[in-house]
Amino acid sequence: MFDNEWIAFLFYCFNSCLSFRPAEITSKRPVTRKRRVVEVSKKAVRDPRFEAYTGELNEGLFKRSYGFIDDYERSEIAMLKDEIKNEPNSERRAQLQKTMTSKVSRLSTNEIKEKTQKLKREWRKTESAKVQQGKTPFFLKNSELKRRQLVDKFKSLTEKGMDLDKVLEKRRKKNASREHRHIPSQRRSR
């Protein structure tokens, strides 16, 4: 009545359908502590920074509204310096030092970002004036921006009274050591 191929096909279909169903677990054994019997629905974690209802970030408005935080952080850094000087416990001192360095680096990063924004604003202002005069617009490239940042940095160093030659020599040494790391070490012949 049925040939062997038909039976094999039915057997295959039946087994493949069974493979998708969940595994049966005996009710005789107690449930382990790790396994949840009734699954609790996971609470959806939402980050308000990426939600649509919060709107877009206006950095200028944010800086004006929360500019006092930088001043507060500077005063915290001064307090941490005093605390580090007077702290007898070395572990606590190391912890305070770590906190202080993170705050200082955050402040310096913000200052660098602000200087970059200032350079871009000045560039846009001059370019818009040139466009109004009838010249073709020229957009600031990243390489040009970096060059302008370096010029600005060197100007500020000379205003502070630092020796520019020493700073440039340090920079050259740093770059040379960085390049030296990528050179493969020489193999010794036997």
Domains of the chain, by residue range, sit at 55-139, 141-177
Q: How far is CA 173 from CA 22, 170, 176, 178, in A?
A: 65, 5, 5, 9
Question: Encoding tokens for residue 12?
Answer: 């295959």
- Which tens digits make up the pLDDT trace of 73-113? 999 999 999 999 999 999 999 999 999 999 999 999 999 99
Identify the DSSP state of 141.
P
Decide if pLDDT at 1 tops 60. no
Nearest to 73 by CA among 113, 107, 101, 109: 107
Percent of the chain past pLDDT 70, that is, above it, reads 91
- Which tens digits make up the pLDDT trace of 103-144? 999 999 999 999 999 999 999 999 999 999 999 988 889 999
Q: In this structure, are residues 164 and 154 in contact, taking their beta carbons and an 8 Å threshold?
A: yes
Q: In this structure, are residues 104 and 96 in contact, taking their beta carbons and an 8 Å threshold?
A: no
Average pLDDT over residues 146-160: 87
Question: Encoding tokens for residue 108?
Answer: 């310096």
Decide if pLDDT at 38 tops 80. no
Q: Tell me if residue 72 falls in helix, strand or coil.
A: helix
Q: In this structure, are residues 103 and 129 in contact, taking their beta carbons and an 8 Å threshold?
A: no
* Residue that is written with structure tokens 């020599």 in the block: 169
pTM value is: 0.58
Confidence (pLDDT) at 18 = 61
Confidence (pLDDT) at 17 = 64
